[in-house]
Structure formats: C-alpha cells, structure tokens
Amino acid sequence: MASDSGNLTARLPLPPDQGTQILYTIFFILTTATVASYFRSWYRLRHVPGPFLNSLTALVQLKKVYDGKYHLYLEGLHQKYGPLVRIGPGEVMFSDPDTFKRVNGIRSQYTRGPFFEVMRAQPGKDHVFSTRDEQKHKELRAKMGPGYAGQQNQGFEKSLDKIMSQLIDLLERKYMSTDTEYRPIDFSCTATYFTLDVISEIAYGEPFGHLNEDKDVFGYIKQMHDSLPALILLGTVPGLIKWVHRWPSTLFLPNEKDKFGMGYMIGFATKFIDHRMALLEQGHPPGNDIIQSFIDHGLPRDQIIQEITLQILAGSDTSATTMRMTLLHLTAHPPSLRRLLDEIDTALSPSDERLSSATKNGGIITAAEASSLPYLQAVIREGLRIYPPATGLVGKLVPEPGGDTVHGYKLPVGTALGQNIWGICRSKEFWGDDADIFRPERWLEAGLGQEGQQNNARLREMMTTQEMIFGYGKYSCLGKGLVGMELGKLYFELFRRYDFSIVDPVHPMRLINAAAWMTTEFWLRITRRVT
C-alpha cells in the first residue's frame, strides 16, 4: 500500500510555485543558450566590416532579396564597407577575381556550405551541384564530363540545329509583324521554351515540345514562378531545408507522381531511364544522348535521375536570362547591333570564305563557323558579363585547421565565404570606368579574334574572369561549352533573319533579382530583315 501511495503521489500535479519555477528555469536556459549562440556568432566575425543588424540576423538579407534588387544591395555594401563584407551572422562576401580563384581552385581546401543542399530536387538525394561530399563530387564530374562534352551525340550540333529550326518556325508561323499586321511576342516565355527544348533534346533525344506548342507544356515555368517566395526563403536561410525535407513538409514537395511542374519532370525522367535500361538489357542498340553517356560511364539509375533533373533546374532559365538580356542590350545599343549585323552580312557574302555554302543558303550556322566571327563572340561574352545569369553568394566554408585570411581579415573555420559575382562582373577596377556599359568592343580591343590571342595575358585574364559566372576550378560548370554554342547559333540566326524592336521602350520588361533573375513581359515586335 505504501508503494502504491508513493506512486500516486509522484503522479500528482506539482504545486503552483514549483511548476512556475521550472518554467522560468527552462525559459532562462533557452534564452541564455540563444543569446550565447548569437553572441558567439557575432563575436567570431566582429572585426569584419558590415551592417550591424546583418551580424545578428539573416532577416535583413531576406528582406533585400524579397525586394527584387538583391544584386544592387550587395554592390552597395561593397562600395560602403570595402572588399570583404559581413553579410550575415556567419557569412561574409567578397567581389574580386583573385579570391574567387583561390576559393574555388582545384587544390582549394574550401568546401560547399549548407546553401547547396537547398538545390536538391528531392530530399536526401544529391546531384553534382548539391553534394557537399568532395570525393563524390569529384567522381561524379569524372563520369559526367564526357556526356557534357557531347561525345555521345556529335557535340550537340544536330540537337541544337533541330531546336533552332523549331524556334525559327514558331516565329515565322505566329509572330511576324508587317506594316499592316501587328504580332507581338513575349520573348521572356519564348527564350525559356527554347532552352527547355534544347535541354530535353540533348538529354532524351527528343524535345519536350514547348516551341511546337508555344506554351508551358508541363507547367514547370509557372511552378517555378509561384515557388519563388519559398525558394528565396530557403536560399537565404538554408538551415531551414532540414525541416522542409522532413515529414510532413515532404508531402507538399514535388514528386514523380505529379501531373505538372518539377514533379512531372522527375517522373518523366524516371520512366524514360527505366525504359532505356530495359531496352539495353534486351540487347537493343544504345541511345545517342546524355543519358546514354551517363549509363555508359557507370552512373547508377537513381543518380542519373537527379543529374537530368539538375539540367532542367540549372540550365533552362539561366541561359534564357542571358538570351533576353543580350537581345535587350543589342536592341538598345544601335552601334553594337550595327557592327554585329555588318559582321553577319560580310560573312554571308559570296566572297567571304568563313561560312559554308550550306550556311549561306539558309542552313544553321555551325559552332566552328560561329567561333570564327570575333564580334559575335564578343557579344556573347559581353552579354554574359553584363548580366551574369545567377547572382547568389553560394557560400563556401573556410577550411580547417586554422581558418583563412581574406583581404587582411582572419576568418575562423566554418565561416561561409560568399562570392558576389555581380560585383566581379561589374568591377570598375577590373573592367574600367565603363564596366556598367554593354560594350562588346572591349573584347576586340583586348585582342579577341586576333592572331596569337592565346598569348594575350590581358585577354586571358578577362576571359577567365568573365567565365567565373560558370564557377571555377573544381566547381566549374560542366555545361558551359554548350552555352557558348547555343548562344552563338541563336544570335547569328535571329539577327541574320529578323529586325527586333521593343514594344515599350520605357518599360521593356519586368525584371527582379532574388539571387537569380525572373523576367516577364519582354514584349518584342519582330519583322523580316531586308538586306
């Protein structure tokens, strides 16, 4: 009985005073731990200049991202505080090419930070861009490199020509304006249709069909736009991703059973890859696409699904952004456009030997031919420089054992060191006082297209710095060669055939920057060019 009484007493409610004391104690411990954590975070980087509130919370940065002018905010911080700025509680940023090379170089000990986990298409499943395992990253790059080099399908040439022809067909069918007929086109959509069809053609051997149907076939573009607020939050506060990737949040994430958007893309990739592997097991001949290359080089099924999904995530709107912004700048800079048109017309003339008769008679220009046109190449590089497709900081972690010193400031181990690529591409110190001006001539002045250009130190430095938009060293983009080929064909073929005018010169497009660009309502009037 005594034992029962003791158990019963132990289960009785605590006296009010004792319960209150316990609650106060718990509150005190949690508050102290939180304050101590904030103090430790602030104290470790207290010597690095930057806005005080940024050193305490990521909310300041989050608001600036939501404002849609994140790139200008970062640029302003560097102008005020110098080459190294504290941007968050545990994050600093730089904007110079020398530090970029040191952080991302092949032998760098820096590793990827938590931001990269946000880029996973599915919880717990990494691809080459999201993995933080350095050895796995290295192995994936080795296996995927041949596929991105185009070894499986003759350098992507036929695939690009096919989609380029479909774009021309769409413009001819629906969007040719005349003196008596007005047919405007929202090129913000069309550019993304083009890049999505290019990616799917290269990956699967067939395009998704956005250009043929002239619409967002699977609702992917709409879903990305609708998801922007959530993506901004996760990109700015990447620590939240561990909660998003847990049940029940996972119930609301894209999955392969979805009928639209990213989930549909994942499901499509899964079915296609399973079908391809089944055919190979039955003795059918191999395919002629990137998926086949990944299979041939030993990537397992689940990994291929993630890598193909990454192609869509990373390669569609980034390339489309460059197309839109370069087209805008050329249309708004008549001298640059005139010089490009003169080069195109000269190359198409009977006496010029740079282009084949097939190209001169209306065929799609080859990648080799496009590379022989120096001003076209200058336009490509200047377009990528003036508006880098992605402007997020994508922080790398300061390595062990003793941290690092950047611009004279000691950074402790684990500090996230972000790279302000907008600042690098717009640096007046590096590019000159006209760094904010679209001027392809700067590349020709540095020796682009001249004999012996490979020995020109300044040109090599400019090219290396501009190509930092694709990463560098061990983190360089596997698909950057494809981008140059894609842009060369697009600009040549569009401007040889058509004249472009902006429908509303005062407000040519709606553009926001939230670490990546979102472009809408880029309305153009297109007419056939008369030469």
Whether the CA torsion 175, 176, 177, 180 is positive or negative: it is negative
Task: Tell whether omega for the bond before 286 is within 30 degrees of 0, i.e. cis.
Answer: no
Phi then psi for 46, rounded to 5 degrees? Answer: -65, -25
The structure tokens 């069909």 sit at 209
First-last CA distance in the chain = 108
What single string gives the DSSP state of each residue in 250-277? GGGS--TT-SSHHHHHHHHHHHHHHHHH
State the Cα–Cα distance between residues 465 and 485, nearest whole angstrom. 19
In sequence order, which residues have a C-beta less than 8 Å from that of residue 462 and are 6 or more positions away? Answer: 442, 443, 446
| CA angle, residues 28, 34, 38, in degrees to nearest 5 | 145
Task: Determine the 3-state secondary structure of 500 from DSSP.
Answer: strand
Buried-exposed string 498-522: b where 16+ CB fall within 10 A, e elsewhere: bbbebbeeeebbebbbbbbbbbeeb
In sequence order, which residues have a C-beta less than 8 Å from that of residue 197 and are 6 or more positions away? Answer: 163, 166, 207, 208, 209, 210, 211
Q: Which helix (H) or strand (E) holds 366?
A: none
Task: Determine the 3-state secondary structure of 127 from DSSP.
Answer: coil
Backbone region of residue 31 per phi and psi (left: phi > 0; alpha: psi in -120 to 50; beta: other values) = alpha
In sequence order, which residues have a C-beta less than 8 Å from that of residue 267 and are 6 or more positions away? Answer: 255, 256, 257, 258
State the Cα–Cα distance between residues 152 and 502, nearest whole angstrom. 40
**273, 264, 275, 284: which is closest to 307 by C-alpha?**
273
State the Cα–Cα distance between residues 234 and 514, nearest whole angstrom. 12
Contact assessment for residue 307 and residue 143, using Cβ atoms and an 8 Å cutoff: no
Q: Is 477 annotated as a binding residue?
A: yes
Give the amino acid at 232: I
**35, 36, 33: which is closest to 25 by C-alpha?**
33
Axis crossing angle, helix 480-497 with helix 187-204, rounded to the nearest 10:
130
Contact assessment for residue 500 and residue 525, using Cβ atoms and an 8 Å cutoff: yes
Binding positions are 477
Binding positions for heme are 477
